[in-house]
Amino acid sequence: MSTITYNNGTAFEQKKGADLLGQMLNNGCEVQYICMSGSCGTCKVAVKSGMEHLSSKAGMENMHGCKEGERLACQAVCRGTGDIVVEQ
């Protein structure tokens, strides 16, 4: 079972093919977001470990200046291949 751990507290089983933001919201995490489509950049998170278990960066993430180790939670899709730890 692969998990997502958010802000070093909330941990839950990840769903392959689902984005980080939706999974965090569905599991009661308090996440900053506005648009859920990559337009605003509000849901930017730091991926502390498990970046290799997420989809490749989308164009919207480059537009919002996501640095190495950062992703827009609404654009990062889980591969279901291992644990992911994120902070916002």
What are residue 77's DSSP bridge partners? Answer: 19
- The CATH number that applies at residue 10 is 3.10.20.30
Query: What pLDDT shows up at residue 8?
Result: 85
User: What letter would DSSP give residue 40?
Assistant: S
Q: Give the pLDDT confidence of 43-82 residue by residue, as tens digits.
A: 999 999 999 999 999 889 999 999 999 999 999 999 999 9
Look at the chain and report how many structural domains it folds into: 1
pLDDT at 13: 97
Full domain range(s) for residue 44 = 3-87
pLDDT for the residue numbered 59: 87
Tens of pLDDT along 12-38?
A: 999 999 999 999 999 999 999 999 999
Residue 88 CA to residue 82 CA, distance in Å, equals 20
Structure-token match 């490749």, residue found: 56
Report the C-alpha gap between 27 and 33 in whole angstroms: 15
Burial class of residue 16, CB neighbours in 10 A (0-12, 13-18, 19+): exposed
Token duo for residue 15: 């769903």
- Residue 64: predicted pLDDT: 92
